[in-house]
Amino acid sequence: MLKKLLGATVFASTLLVAGGAFVSPALSEVVFNRGNSADPESLDPHKTSTVYEAHILRDLFEGLVMQDQNAELIPGAAESWTVSDDGLVYTFKLRPDGVWSDGTPVTADDFVYAFRRLEDPATGAEYSSMLYVVKNGEEVNTGKAKPEELGVRAVDATTFEVTLKSPTPYFLEMLTHQSTYPVNRASIEKLGADWIKPGNLVSNGAYTLAEFTPNDHIKLVKNPKFHDAANVKIDVVNYYPTEDRSTAIKRFEAGELDTNDDIPTEQLADLKAKFGDQLRIGPYLGTYYYAIKTTKAPWDNVELRNAVSMAIDRDFLAEKVWQNSMLPGYSMVPPGIEGYEPALASFAEESQIDREDKAKAILEKLGYTPDNPLKMEIRYNTSENHKNTAVAIQEQLKPLGIEVTMVNTDTKTHYGHLEQKGDFDVARAGWIADYKDPESFLGISRKASGNNYSDYDSPKFEELMDKAAADGGKPQLRMQDLAEAERVLIDEVGQIPLLYYSYKNLVSPKIVGFESNVMDVHPTRFISKQ
């Protein structure tokens, strides 16, 4: 899932209402103010891709299975499930008390509709390829089969069945992703694109949408019809986009934010001293990378792409720019996935001096020198951290004959440009695991993926990814297939991995239940405020 960052204005224990007036919340109302780095591009689960959207949608909707405060799988809209002996058929029994926020029951037909809608080419879902593991998923999404041929069916009102192409070890965990959440068909057919607006949005999660003021705040209120509403302690959660990290720190310090999900890393030492254990930093299953347009000259030259990748000093980025809050990255799949050994770039063990010498030789062979520089544009979304990273890379590449310019836009514009296959040379991106499996990081480089910003297209990579899918019932062999696929991706420089993420959360001592975990998942329904 994409890591994206933005900003906003925030208010302490008051709520903004129409006309700019302020009102105090009711004394008995528990309000949680969350700094959330970016505004969502959409609140339609089938048209989102970022962790910032995921935080909000995780509160609004409930999939078949969900994650608790420790990122462990728990029953969601399904109270139980069974798997056939061959690992191909999953049968979910929906909870009898599951209802939409309008009071109508959540049924198996809702999931049939949602899964078909995700694969419908007309939806334009970035995550349509996620359901390619389902029988006829790819065929439906590419127009070669009808939506009715997708391997899903309602056995009865409370029994939903999914048939897979081949055994898929991560399938249950994949269902925690927002793209697999149910959506309300009646609302969509009645309201069209307006179904996601406040007052219109019908959801089945712990919260409902009350307000959405772009670049300002999103207000969710507790859903009294949620099946576990009795155990939901927060009455109102306000999500504030906090693009300006330094300003967000001041708001947190003033008590205007209860949590914030990022920090300006150049202030790390001071923040540790000031906030102590309110600043939580730890391993996060994610990779910070640069997408490079592999279909555009001169970046269609793998030698050139490799030279650029070699020349970037990742140790400097991790230590100096990110203040050791990130680790140098040489693979798309970060370390920490059980049973998998990431495929590192061939130069990973070489000294930086040797790498630069090799990169310089390649560039000179291709005709690029300081006197005849290669011009390269880096696009990045607004954040002090992303800017500092791009500036550092600009300085590293200049002596080798690469002249870097930079383009900064807000997060929504940045990723909109990438998703719409806009023109660029190199662009900042990041990927956070949707599930604890290498496929989550490798699948974004498949030709069919809506998140393949680099337009990387490798028959050998596709062949190995297909083999891994077919070997789903043989875990060890499957991991070998995936490692071979990653080796092809890294050697062909389909993407340029730079760093492995750490989460960097500020959490007020008033907040209870905000548990640190490698997925950085924090559903509001499990949080309370003292």
Closest CA to 177 of 263, 295, 49, 18: 49
Asked if residue 267 has pLDDT above 70, the reply is yes
Q: What sections of 431-526 are H helices per DSSP?
A: 439-442, 459-470, 475-491
The residue that leads in pLDDT, 17 or 322, is: 322
Are 175 and 30 spatial neighbours (Cβ–Cβ below 8 Å)? Answer: no
Q: Please report, rounded to a whole number, the percentage of residues in the chain having pLDDT higher than 70.
A: 95
pLDDT score at 28:
84
Give the Cα separation of 265 and 414 in Å (integer).
21
pLDDT score at 73:
97
Residues 6+ apart with CB under 8 A from 103: 225
Give the Cα separation of 110 and 412 in Å (integer).
29
Cα-Cα end-to-end distance for the chain: 32
At residue 223 the predicted structure's pLDDT band, cuts being 50, 70 and 90, is very high
Q: What is the mean pLDDT of the chain?
A: 94
Asked if residue 439 has pLDDT above 80, the reply is yes
pLDDT digits (tens, 9 = 90+) for 457-488: 999 999 999 999 999 999 999 999 999 999 99
Mean pLDDT of 78-85: 98
pLDDT digits (tens, 9 = 90+) for 8-40: 333 333 333 333 333 345 558 999 999 999 899
pLDDT score at 49:
87
pLDDT score at 27:
58
Would you state the CATH architecture of domain 15-241+508-529? 3-Layer(aba) Sandwich (3.40)
Mean pLDDT of 299-316: 98
Mean pLDDT of 264-268: 94
pLDDT digits (tens, 9 = 90+) for 409-420: 999 899 999 999
Tokens of 513: 């239940």
pLDDT digits (tens, 9 = 90+) for 328-360: 999 999 999 999 999 999 999 999 999 999 999
Residues 6+ apart with CB under 8 A from 37: 4, 5, 6, 7, 52, 241, 242, 243, 260, 261, 262, 411
At residue 213 the predicted structure's pLDDT band, cuts being 50, 70 and 90, is very high
CB atoms closer than 10 angstroms to residue 156? 11
Would you state the CATH architecture of domain 284-503? Roll (3.10)
Asked if residue 295 has pLDDT above 60, the reply is yes
The domains of the chain are located at 15-241+508-529, 284-503
Q: Please report, rounded to a whole number, the percentage of residues in the chain having pLDDT higher than 90.
A: 92
pLDDT digits (tens, 9 = 90+) for 358-410: 999 999 999 999 999 999 999 999 999 999 999 999 999 999 999 999 999 99
Residue 478, CA distances (Å) to 136, 280, 461 in order = 21, 35, 14
pLDDT score at 160:
98
pLDDT score at 25:
52
Mean pLDDT of 84-94: 97
pTM over 0.85: yes
pLDDT score at 15:
37
Q: Decide if 15-241+508-529 and 284-503 have a common fold.
A: no
Residue 87, CA distances (Å) to 82, 131, 267 in order = 10, 16, 49
| Type of residue numbered 413 | T
For the chain, state the CA radius of gyration: 23
